[in-house]
Amino acid sequence: MLIIEYVLCLILLVVLARATYTDFYAGKIYNSTLLRGCVLSLAADFIYYGVWAHRFFPVFLSNFLLLVLTGILFYALRIWAAGDSKLLFFIGLSIPGRWYTFQPFGTASSFAILVYAFSAAFLWLVILGGWRFLKDPHIGKIRVFCCTA
């Protein structure tokens, strides 16, 4: 059982690294990358839940559905792009159900993924803004425009 969990984690890390690279340099997350990752994760999930982890399947399914619905909602509200929703779908497939039981949030622990992701993104924006301010102190100055007629 642990070997399949490590395989799922390895698939997750490889696809996330590739998606991060292409998103950073090309501005998009390719469907082919996510499709390959989803196929591999589904195969590993089939073995994982079919052979060893029957009792964790309901926890996995509830968290997976929460992530899918949240991804659809965030896309519909234009909080993020379609690639981000598909990436969240893949992440939900790749996290073993047993790992959700380690979280203090219970069956809704998939929301911890979103909290961590948004916290990291917000921290990155604060650091980037601070760096730009240090490079050009005029960025932070408030300008008042007056009109004379």
Structure tokens at 129: 């803004």
* pLDDT (0 to 100) of residue 143: 57
Tell me the C-alpha to C-alpha distance, in Å, between residue 86 and each of 20, 54, 66, 133: 13, 26, 14, 34
Q: What is the DSSP letter of 50?
A: I
Q: What is the pLDDT of residues 8-51, one digit of tens each?
A: 999 999 998 998 888 878 888 899 999 999 999 999 999 999 99
The answer to whether 15 and 35 are in contact (CB under 8 A) is no
Neighbours of 34 (CB within 10 A): 19
pTM of the predicted protein model = 0.73
Domain map (residue ranges) of the chain: 2-109
